[in-house]
Structure 1
Amino acid sequence: MLNLDTVKTQAVADQTRQTFAAMDSALLDAAQLTTAFLSAAQGSGLTASESQRILQRIHEGAGKIIEGRSDMIRATALLTRCLEHSQIDVTAVGCPLGMDAPAQDETPRHLTLVA
């Protein structure tokens, strides 16, 4: 059995939520960049091949954000597995996997392991 510190475990859960929020924000920014670029490119004189190369790079960058988000889901599942093998009850500490209750909600919820 793992002996996890409750405060440190909560800090990991908080940071995990913040990481997902940052990744989602970065993905939103990439989508907005695509829209802004398309708007700016209209009538700018850029050739189709020039604009295609730029759009491709933006798209590839967004794809890497989505890949990283997928990696974070797997990492969170591993963290949840650690929690399940600890002395801490398997109740919500704010895990972003399937936990939709607000942080201030004191209702205990069971974590869901997603791999």
Structure 2
Amino acid sequence: MFKFDRGKASRIARDTQTAFTTLDRALLSSAQLMCSIIVGKEGADLPESQCQTILLAVHESAGDLLSGRAKMISATRLMNRIQKRSNQAETDFGCPGPGPWSISKTRPAMLAAVA
């Protein structure tokens, strides 16, 4: 059985939640940047080939963020398996979040439909 200090284990859980929130905000920023580029190029006489290169770079960057997020999910699963074999097995540290999917009455939704 692994033996963890409750305070340190709680810190790991909070830092995991913060990491997911940060990744999600970066993804949201990438999506907003993509939209800003498309809107911003209108009337700028920017060659489509250059705009395409920029959009592709932002798209690939967002893909890298998604890959990193998937790896964080794997790391979180491993941490959960370790926790279940520790002296903190019965402690509920909460799921990773909050994120844009967590909508409460006191916090407005961060996602909006795009028409």
Aligned residues: 99
Q: Which amino acid aligns with 2:87?
A: Q
Number of the residue aligned with 2:31: 31
Number of the residue aligned with 1:17: 17
- How far has the Cα of 1:42 moved from its partner? 1.0
- How far has the Cα of 1:54 moved from its partner? 0.3
Q: State yes or no: 1:56 paired with 2:56.
A: yes
Number of the residue aligned with 2:4: 4
CA deviations over 1:20-77 (Å, ceiling 9, x no partner)? 0000000000000001110111111111111000000000000011111000000000
Structure 1 runs of 4+ with >6 Å offset? none
Return 5+ residue gaps in structure 1 as ranges.
102-115
- How far has the Cα of 1:88 moved from its partner? 1.4
Distance 2:31 2:4 in 1: 39
Number of the residue aligned with 1:67: 67
TM-score of the aligned structures, taking structure 2 as reference length: 0.81
Q: Which has the higher contact order (CA 8 A, sep 6+)?
A: 2
Return 5+ residue gaps in structure 2 as ranges.
103-115
Distance 2:27 2:68 in 1: 11
Identity %: 36
TM-score of the aligned structures, taking structure 1 as reference length: 0.81
- How far has the Cα of 1:90 moved from its partner? 3.1
Number of the residue aligned with 2:94: 94
Q: Which amino acid aligns with 1:85?
A: R
Q: Which amino acid aligns with 1:64?
A: D
Distance 1:22 1:52 in 2: 27
Distance 2:46 2:5 in 1: 57
Contact 1:2-1:85 at 8 Å conserved across structures = yes
Cα RMSD for the two superposed structures: 1.8
